[in-house]
Amino acid sequence: MDELTREFLIESQEGLDRMERCLTDLESRPEDTALLAEIFRSVHTIKGTTGFLGFKRLEKLAHAGENLLGLLRDGKLTAEQHIITGLLSLLDGLRSILRTVESDGGEGEGNDAALIARLEELQKVEVQKADSRQDKLRQTAATPDEADDASALTSAKVQNPLLMMLAKEKAEAQKSAAIVPAAQSASIATIEAEKTVSMAGTASSSAAESTLRVDVALLNQMMNLVGELVLTRNQVLQATASDPKMTLLSRRLDMVTADLRESVMKARMQPVSNIFSKMPRIVRDISQLLGRKVRLEMDGQETELDKSLLEAIKDPLTHAVRNSLDHGIEPPAIRAAAGKNPEGTLKLRAAQEGSHVLIEVTDDGAGIAADKVRAKAIERGLITAEAAAMLPERELLNLIFLPGFSTAAAITSVSGRGVGMDVVKTNVEKIGGKVEIESRVGKGTTLRLRIPLTLAIIPALIVRSLEQSFAVPQGALSELVHLTAAQAAKDIEWMDDAPLYRLRGQLLPLIFLDRMLTAGKGGRELEGRDIFVAVLDADGRRYGLIIDGLADPEEIVVKPLSAVLKDIGLYSGATVLGNGDLALILDPGAIAARAGVTARAEEDAAAIDADALEAEESHENEFLLVEVAGRRAAVKLGDVLRIEQVPVSRIEYAGLRPVLHFDGQLLPVEDAGGLLAAAHDEMQVIIVVCRDASRQVGVAVSNVLDVAAGSDLFEAGTSAPSAGVTLLKDRVTNIVYLGSVAELPMIDQTTEPWHTAVENA
């Protein structure tokens, strides 16, 4: 494509964007001459330029539009609803041809006859209407130019006979037109307004202005080069750290690089108005379609964001707006009935907050009822009823982000389409952003998107695994936990073969990075080493990534991956570290998906966790009812960690005390009923693993009967070791007193697990 055609395309698209903004404004101010002039000019310019390039189809269509717009501009026609709709079709028509030109250089085969006929129809109908009030129009609508002409012509020095004739005709025609001073001042107002419009619009560059049009490819290249420079700087800083002579120089290099990086990043920034400006049209179309009355307010349009990120949030934002109109703002009648303004308000707000840009979509609609979300999520099988019952209201709302939440019943032509809020969330998280929702029933809903300012250079934590460095984006990292070998052995729990870690009461699924990368199955052994758990949040999944070690955090430059590495699917890019090493950038979302950590598993974990907490906190009186050698006994449910069935052969003896190797520890086992002594090696025995203060003990039981709520504790009236008695299922039951389970004797300290158990006791 030659330079001239490209110039034409860019300019025409800018013009149409301006036209679109003006058209939506025109709905509320149909008499605004400045708007009409601006719209006319956009189409006029396209028509004027297409001729040079021989684009006949565009020229014809633009010509038809220009005629209609001419009537509007000259006040011979009022911009009523159906005309605006017609003009929007014109806009779409022109855009689609421009797209064809852009993709294959020609105008394509399409036929615009119907659209042109419609534009002509709009003129005709209106001309008839206009005729009836022509006198009125004559009085009020004499354009400044005509008025001036009329006055100028009275003293015309006309040299050319043709000109003379034309002049006479014109003077005749305008004899009756009053020269109204108001028209003059109106024209000044118009000019002022136009100036503002053109300022607000995309900067129209010229030699006299201080802006310059730069190819995006060139900007991208500059960004890459700055990236290389940042890498080189990191290496120079490391290499010269010990040389005092170089310190000053490298510090200077550091500063200049940082400034340069910031400048280039700024050059890639574009105001969010670039996407906000599409919204009035969308809001208009959808609210008409759905019969809503909606006022759109936009704030902070000057907030800037990296161009690629802006592109990336366009669809999620559009979807969010659609959703607000479809499911948020109620039809006018319902609003009125609820005592609200029949006209709903949709607010789009953008603001920079530190290294993030915050974009909010707020409606004053019906809000989201947490119960309905709960019911729907259960109905769709996204969460169990029990788990849902445990979730606090705020978290319930987050269920709408689960894949599969909005389907079937929710599909309308507006926001259904099989995509739901999960797509919004996924898209925003893909670029390192976050989505939050807040809603009050009857008051409205706010959706908040947090977008990082830039993607190309990100802060990352460098971690070590398999003797290699990997970069973990800081955006996904929520905390780091260091576990000594002993703590790891104790605190990591296993659910089948899946390791879990209880972090401040929350069950966190764990992923071994080394096993993931080597595709190794791995057993339960932690090989007695210190580990780090990087707690990551990605795509609504929260998990702990087990790594061997940590290096410094660094600002890394994201480089695209070769196809081979991309196919592995666990990496989002590569980078060169300050020490010159190559490091792959881990993709936290992909790792979670590969390991089978689902957003749902997290909900389940939360639910399990809630269960545990509830048991501990409010159900102090729940007991595990067991049978020990024909007698009933009870263990406080809050103390029960696990119920294990083990062969008797696994029970060992330390002195006379039975002990059980369990999770790398030795548990002292309480055998009040003499079950173990009576058993032979092939039998299975049930051990209830309990927590007693800071240690764990096992209780050998014959059977687990039930879980039951007990009454208030009675004072223990017997001398048997008991924590008291309680009334369970109408029977007085002894509570096993864990404190009576004797400490293990301090013998045989040679085995590590033994040692550990003592240490932890």
Partner 1 sequence: MRALIVDDSRFIRTHLRSMLTEQGMECEEASDGLQGLDLLRTSADFDLALLDWNMPAMTGLEMLRQMRAEGFTNVKVLMVTTEADNDFILSALEAGADEYLMKPFEAAALADKLAMLGLVEA
Q: What angle in degrees, to the nearest 10, is found between the helix axes of 161-174 and 144-154?
A: 120
Buried (b) or exposed (e) across 342-367, using 16+ Cβ within 10 A?
eebbbbbbbeeeeebbbbbbbbbbbb
Amino acid at 614: E
Asked if residues 405 and 421 have their Cβ atoms less than 8 Å apart, the reply is yes
Taking residue 711's Cβ as centre, other Cβ atoms within 10 Å add up to 11
User: CA gyration radius for the chain?
Assistant: 37
| Residue 52 beta carbon to partner 1: minimum distance, rounded to whole angstroms | 4
CB nearer partner 1, residue 37 or residue 321:
37
| Residue 71 beta carbon to partner 1: minimum distance, rounded to whole angstroms | 12
| Residue 255 beta carbon to partner 1: minimum distance, rounded to whole angstroms | 38
| Residue 172 beta carbon to partner 1: minimum distance, rounded to whole angstroms | 14
Collect contacts of 422-429 with beta carbons under 8 A, ≥24 apart. Answer: 423/316, 423/319, 424/316, 424/319, 424/320, 425/401, 425/539, 425/540, 426/539, 427/312, 427/313, 427/315, 427/316, 428/313, 428/316, 429/538, 429/539, 429/540, 429/589
CB nearer partner 1, residue 4 or residue 189:
4
Distances (CA, A) of 421 to 347, 417, 428: 19, 12, 11
| Residue 455 beta carbon to partner 1: minimum distance, rounded to whole angstroms | 30
Residues 146 and 604: their CA atoms lie apart, in Å, by 76
Q: Based on the number of CB atoms within 10 Å of its own CB, is 461 exposed (0-12), middle (13-18) or buried (19 or more)? A: buried
| Residue 159 beta carbon to partner 1: minimum distance, rounded to whole angstroms | 9
Q: What share of the chain is helix, strand, coil (3-state, %, to 5)?
A: 50, 25, 25
| Residue 70 beta carbon to partner 1: minimum distance, rounded to whole angstroms | 7
Residues 416 and 101: their CA atoms lie apart, in Å, by 32
CB nearer partner 1, residue 166 or residue 214:
166
CB nearer partner 1, residue 191 or residue 267:
191
CB nearer partner 1, residue 14 or residue 627:
14
| Residue 29 beta carbon to partner 1: minimum distance, rounded to whole angstroms | 18
Tokens 């539009």 correspond to 65
Residues 181 and 751: their CA atoms lie apart, in Å, by 105
Q: Which residues bind partner 1 (CB under 8 A)?
A: 3-4, 7-8, 10-11, 37-38, 40-41, 44-45, 47-52, 66, 70, 145, 148-149, 152-153, 156, 158, 160, 163, 166-167, 170, 191, 194-195, 197-198, 204-209
Sheet containing 631-636, strands listed edge to edge, beginning at the edge strand earlier in sequence: 703-709, 622-628, 631-636, 731-736, 722-728
CB nearer partner 1, residue 204 or residue 221:
204
CB nearer partner 1, residue 143 or residue 621:
143
| Residue 51 beta carbon to partner 1: minimum distance, rounded to whole angstroms | 3
| Residue 15 beta carbon to partner 1: minimum distance, rounded to whole angstroms | 9
| Residue 241 beta carbon to partner 1: minimum distance, rounded to whole angstroms | 51
Residues 420 and 707: their CA atoms lie apart, in Å, by 41
Tokens in use for 115?
């659209």
DSSP code, position 330:
P
CB nearer partner 1, residue 8 or residue 543:
8
CB nearer partner 1, residue 70 or residue 332:
70
Asked if residues 592 and 700 have their Cβ atoms less than 8 Å apart, the reply is no
| Residue 109 beta carbon to partner 1: minimum distance, rounded to whole angstroms | 23
Asked if residues 460 and 553 have their Cβ atoms less than 8 Å apart, the reply is yes
Residues 84 and 701: their CA atoms lie apart, in Å, by 82
Which of 430, 447, 428 is CA-nearest to residue 321? 447
- The CA-CA-CA angle for residues 440, 444, 446, to 5°, reads 90
Amino acid at 384: T
Span between the terminal Cα atoms of the chain, in Å: 78
CB nearer partner 1, residue 186 or residue 229:
186
| Residue 197 beta carbon to partner 1: minimum distance, rounded to whole angstroms | 7
Which of 734, 732, 733, 673 is CA-nearest to residue 700? 673
CB nearer partner 1, residue 65 or residue 638:
65
CB nearer partner 1, residue 164 or residue 375:
164
CB nearer partner 1, residue 66 or residue 326:
66
